[in-house]
C-alpha cells in the first residue's frame, strides 16, 4: 500500500528506510499522498540536520498529533459514556492521552524499528524508550491528519485505542486526586509536592518528586514529566496508607 511513493520519499539517510515504511503504511491504513510526512514523523531530533535532507524531525508533527488525538478521544468518550459528568470524562481523557498510553500503542504496532535515530541514541536503547515511542506515535497521528484529514487519523486512533477505552469501564481516579481527597477527609492540609532531582538530557529528562502529607513520611516518585512524577509519588504514598490500614485492621482483629 503506497510502497512506491513511500520509498521514494525515504532515500535520504535521515529518513526511515524504504524497506521499513511500506509495512507501517499498511498498519496505519492510509496511502500517503505526501510520504515525506510519514518519513518526518519517524525522524528523531537526535539525527543531525545534515542527514535529514530537506525534511525535519517529528516535533512539529507531534504538536499537531497531540491536538488531533485529544479531539478524537474527547469525541469518543462523549459518545461512549453519556451518563458521565465532565469530571469523570476528564479523568478518562487524561489516562488515554498520556505518554504511557501512546507508548503502549506504539509498542503494539511495532513502531520502534521504523524510527530513524542517531547512533548514540540507538546505543542507549532509544528505539525502546517510551518517551520517543510516544512522541513518534503522536507525530504519526499528526501526519495522518495533515495528509488525509480527520478521517484517516480517526480510523487509526479508534482502532488502536479501542482496547484502552474498553479495558476499564469505571471512571479512573488519579493518584493525586485520591491523595488530596484522603487529606481533606481528615481535615489535613493539602499534599505538598516538590521536585528533588532531575536527570538525563534536556530532550528526555527524568524527574523525581517528593510528596508530603501531615503526619506521614514523605515519599518519592519518578517520571518523564513533573506531572507523572507527582502521580507516582502520590500513588506510592497511597500504597503506604493502604498498608497501614491493613496492618491496623489485623492488629484490631
**DSSP-assigned letter for residue 203:** T
Cα atoms in the Cβ-side hemisphere of radius 13 Å centred on 16: 30
- Which residues are CB-contacts of 78 (< 8 A; sequence separation ≥ 6)? 89
For the chain, what is the radius of gyration of the CA atoms?
Answer: 21
Cα atoms in the Cβ-side hemisphere of radius 13 Å centred on 205: 13
**Residues with catalytic function:** 66, 138
The residue assigned the cell 506521614 is 216
Taking residue 200's Cβ as centre, other Cβ atoms within 10 Å add up to 11
| Cα–Cα distances in angstroms (integers) from residue 70 to residues 110, 133, 137, 153, 163, in the given order | 22, 18, 13, 11, 17
**DSSP-assigned letter for residue 49:** G
Q: Report how far residue 240's alpha carbon sits from residue 152's, in angstroms, rounded to the nearest whole number.
A: 45
Amino acid at each position: 500500500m503506497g510502497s512506491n511513493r513511500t520509498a521514494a520519499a525515504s532515500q535520504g539517510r535521515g529518513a526511515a528506510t524504504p524497506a521499513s515504511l511500506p509495512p507501517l503504511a499498511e498498519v496505519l491504513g492510509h496511502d500517503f499522498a505526501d510520504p515525506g510526512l510519514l518519513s518526518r514523523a519517524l525522524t528523531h531530533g537526535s539525527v543531525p540536520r545534515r542527514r535529514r535532507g530537506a525534511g525535519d524531525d517529528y516535533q512539529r508533527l507531534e504538536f499537531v498529533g497531540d491536538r488531533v488525538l485529544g479531539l478524537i478521544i474527547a469525541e469518543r468518550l462523549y459518545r461512549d459514556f453519556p451518563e458521565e459528568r465532565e469530571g469523570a470524562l476528564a479523568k478518562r481523557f487524561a489516562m488515554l492521552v498520556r505518554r504511557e498510553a501512546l507508548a503502549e500503542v506504539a509498542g503494539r504496532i511495532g513502531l520502534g524499528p521504523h524510527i530513524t535515530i542517531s547512533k548514540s541514541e540507538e546505543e542507549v536503547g532509544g528505539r525502546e524508550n517510551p518517551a520517543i515511542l510516544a512522541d513518534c506515535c503522536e507525530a504519526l497521528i499528526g501526519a495522518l491528519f495533515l495528509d488525509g484529514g480527520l478521517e484517516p487519523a480517526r480510523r487509526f486512533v479508534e482502532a488502536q485505542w479501542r482496547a484502552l477505552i474498553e479495558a476499564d469501564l469505571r471512571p479512573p481516579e488519579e493518584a493525586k486526586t485520591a491523595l488530596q481527597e484522603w487529606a481533606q477527609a481528615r481535615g489535613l492540609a493539602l499534599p505538598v509536592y516538590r521536585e528533588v532531582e532531575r536527570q538525563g538530557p534536556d530532550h528526555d529528562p527524568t524527574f523525581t518528586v517528593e510528596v508530603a502529607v501531615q503526619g506521614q513520611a514523605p515519599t518519592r516518585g519518578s517520571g518523564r514529566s513533573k506531572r507523572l512524577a507527582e502521580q507516582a509519588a502520590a500513588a506510592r504514598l497511597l500504597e503506604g496508607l493502604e498498608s497501614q490500614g491493613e496492618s491496623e485492621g489485623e492488629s484490631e482483629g
